[in-house]
Each structure stands twice: as C-alpha cells, then as structure tokens.
Amino acid sequence: MRPGLLLVNLGSPASPQTADVKAYLSRFLSDPSVIEMPPAIWQPLLHGLILPLRAWRSATFYRDSWLAAGSPLIVRSQQIRDLVQADLPTWDVRLAMTYGKPAIGKTLKQMAAAGCPQVIVLPLFPQYTQSTHQSILIQAETSGVPMTFIKHFYDEPDYLQLLADQVQASYDQHNYDRIIFSYHSIPTAMVRHGDPYLQECLATTKAVLKRLPDLPADHVITAFQSKFGPMPWLKPYLKNELMTLVEKGHRNVLIVTPSFVVDCLETIEEDYVQNYQTFRASGGNRFDLVPPMNDNPRFSQFLADLATRWWEAQVHEA
C-alpha cells in the first residue's frame, strides 16, 4: 500500500485572456460555499453585471503577473508539490485545484488506480474557512476514493515557528513603524454562522508574536484584504488601515500575509501594486511584504512531516 498525499490550492484561469478569466470567475463565484446569496438573486447579478465588468479588468491583472511557465499560483504550488515529493520519495504526491485543472476528483481517482487506496488531502490554506475548504471536501468525498482530510494547520508549532522566522528576517532589514498581519477576508455572515476563520486568524497572529518576544506587540495590527462584493466582510480592511497609519505618522510598514502560502494575484497585484500605490499616494515611505512560503524547503518539509504524522496515526488506528 503506497501512501498518497494530495495537495490542493484554489486554482487559476487557464490563461490570462479575458474569456478564460471569465470562465474561471464564473465557476468560482457560482460556488455556494463561496457566495451564500440565493442563486435566483445572485446568478443574474453575476452574469449580467459582475462578470462583464470584472472579467476584463481581472484579466489585465493576470497578464501583468503571469509567468513564462504560467499562473504564479500554479507554478509555485507545483514547486511545493515537487519538493514534498522529494521529501517523501515512497509516496505518491500530487497537486489539484478547487477550480480548474487538475481537478480534485479526477486526481484522486488516478491516485487510487495507481495504488493509493487511501489518500491524505491537504488544502494549502493554514486557516479553515468554508469558502476555501468546503468545496475541496465536497469534491474529494464525491470522488468515492477513501481519504483523510486535514482541516487546517494554523496551530502547528513547526509552521508557526517558520512563519515567525520569516517575519523576524524581514523585520530585521529595516526600521518599521507598524507590522500588519493581513489575511484574506470573508463575509461576516459566515463568521456569524459559525465559521472559525476569524478565530484562527487571530490565533495565528497571537502565536507568531509569542515566538517573537522582541517585536513590539503594540506595533502589530491584524487586518483583512481582498474583499469582494457589496456585503460586509471582516474588518479592518487593509487598504483603509494603510491610509489611517499614514495619517497617524506611521510611514514604514511591513505586511505579513499568512493566509497565502504562495505568491498569487492577491500578493503580486493587490499588495505589491494596488496597496503599495495607495500607501505611497497617501504619503507612506517604505512598504514591504514578508514573502509567502513558496518554495521554502522548510515549508515543504513541514508539509511532508504533517502528512507522515497523519498517515502513521491512521495506520496505528487500523
């Protein structure tokens, strides 16, 4: 019996062309795990107004960030997969996407056919939220392949230490007035309905600071980015926080993005371009980002160790 590990990330358009971006956004924004609004109301709004206006604009952002090898999110995720496979040479390690290719269900069936009767499914999202994890779980269960689902890893000591080390390494480079832990926002309605995401984000910030006793806790802010649509999402919003900091005389900031383990549109375009421009236009000086995990070998080793522990526990129970 060969152990199997399926890493899962969000996905990306097939190309940065408007038609492919529109198809990707249509699938993503039609997922009831992401948009809880009744389809009878949401779908006409999505296809009649949002996609026609948003697809071409998003396509320009994708074109600006696209790599020679493809989507940054896909390329960086593939690098993680390859590193984890090297760390687990006797395993079958594969990568799938919630939206787009490779598909989760198809990949799980291929792994089962290749000799993996039980697969560990590990979403590349440290903090759990319905809007990312629920669709992964549904697709994995629908495949019919026996699997074990790792819900989150925000509280894993090795992950937290790695994140803390990355923050410290960046913080030591310059004198920063404030450090902002910026997480992808979600609708506040999800939190009211019991989603643990906000609690896990706050716990991540707190646990990292505990590992950095020399970092002034009163200089650290938790914020949220990437809001979409008219409904209330978790606040404070990063862009507003940046402008407020400048007004208070804090013109040198370091941004940490714990909910993004690879560089993607949100870090490359939203942060390095849009939020940077907002900050500078408001009078800010230094705007730096702590790099995501990307191809850090310590992160891939952490994922390999995490999967191994889950596998050994599973075998022991059997």
Residue range 245-277, pLDDT digits in tens: 999 999 999 999 999 999 999 999 999 999 999
125-171 pLDDT, tens digit per residue, is: 999 999 999 999 999 999 999 999 999 999 999 999 999 999 999 99
Q: If phi over 0 gives left and psi between -120 and 50 gives alpha, with beta otherwise, what is residue 194?
A: left
Same structural domain for residues 265 and 227?
yes
184 is in an annotated binding site: yes
Query: What is the mean pLDDT of the segment spanning 2-7?
Result: 96
Same structural domain for residues 226 and 270?
yes
**What percent of the chain is predicted at pLDDT more than 90?**
92
Q: How far apart are the C-alpha atoms of 83 and 53, rounded to whole Å?
A: 39
Same structural domain for residues 196 and 277?
yes
Tally Cβ neighbours within 10 Å of residue 57: 10
- Using N-to-C axis directions, what is the helix angle for 157-171 and 297-317, rounded to 10°? 170
Residue carrying the six token digits 């022991």: 316
Q: Is the dihedral of CA 296, 297, 299, 303 positive or negative?
A: positive
Same structural domain for residues 11 and 46?
yes
pTM: 0.96
What's the number of domains the chain is made of? Answer: 2
Same structural domain for residues 35 and 133?
yes
Task: Give Cα separations from 99 to 51, 125, 209 (angstroms).
Answer: 16, 15, 34
Q: Which pLDDT score, from 0 to 100, does residue 30 have?
A: 92
Residue 36 DSSP symbol: -
69-103 pLDDT, tens digit per residue, is: 999 999 999 999 999 999 999 999 999 999 999 99
Q: Which pLDDT score, from 0 to 100, does residue 43 have?
A: 93
> In which band, very low, low, confident or very high, does the pLDDT at 1 lie, cut at 50, 70 and 90?
confident
Residue 300 sits in a domain whose CATH number is 3.40.50.1400
Residue 193 DSSP symbol: T
Same structural domain for residues 128 and 191?
no
Same structural domain for residues 141 and 49?
yes
- Least confident range of 2-16, 30-44, 274-288: 30-44
Query: What is the mean pLDDT of the segment spanning 41-57?
Result: 91
Looking at residue 249, its amino acid is G
Q: Which pLDDT score, from 0 to 100, does residue 37 have?
A: 85
36 is in an annotated binding site: no
201-224 pLDDT, tens digit per residue, is: 999 999 999 999 999 999 999 999
75 token code pair: 């390329």
Same structural domain for residues 252 and 138?
no
Tally Cβ neighbours within 10 Å of residue 318: 6
Same structural domain for residues 204 and 244?
yes
> In which band, very low, low, confident or very high, does the pLDDT at 35 lie, cut at 50, 70 and 90?
confident
Q: Which pLDDT score, from 0 to 100, does residue 182 have?
A: 98
Which residues, 6 or more positions from 46, have their beta carbon under 8 angstroms from its beta carbon?
26, 29, 30, 35
102-121 pLDDT, tens digit per residue, is: 999 999 999 999 999 899 99
Q: Is the dihedral of CA 261, 264, 269, 274 positive or negative?
A: negative
Same structural domain for residues 210 and 257?
yes
Tell me if 275 sits within 8 A of 239, measured CB to CB: yes
Q: DSSP E strands: which ranges in the chain?
A: 4-11, 92-99, 119-123, 147-149, 178-184, 220-225, 252-256, 286-289
Helices then strands, each counted (H, E), the chain: 13, 8
Task: Give Cα separations from 268 to 163, 247, 306 (angstroms).
Answer: 19, 25, 28
Q: Which pLDDT score, from 0 to 100, does residue 294 have?
A: 98
End-to-end CA distance of the chain: 13
Q: Which of 248, 245, 256 is nearest to 279 (CA)?
A: 245
Residue-number span of the structural domain to which 218 is assigned: 157-289
Looking at residue 250, its amino acid is H
Q: Which pLDDT score, from 0 to 100, does residue 318 have?
A: 59
Residue carrying the six token digits 């074109």: 63
Q: Which of 167, 121, 125, 113 is nearest to 140 (CA)?
A: 121
Residue 151 DSSP symbol: -
291-314 pLDDT, tens digit per residue, is: 999 999 999 999 999 999 999 988
Q: Which of 256, 250, 315, 241 is nearest to 288 (CA)?
A: 256
Same structural domain for residues 161 and 205?
yes
CA dihedral 205, 208, 214, 220 (to 10 degrees): -20
Same structural domain for residues 126 and 235?
no
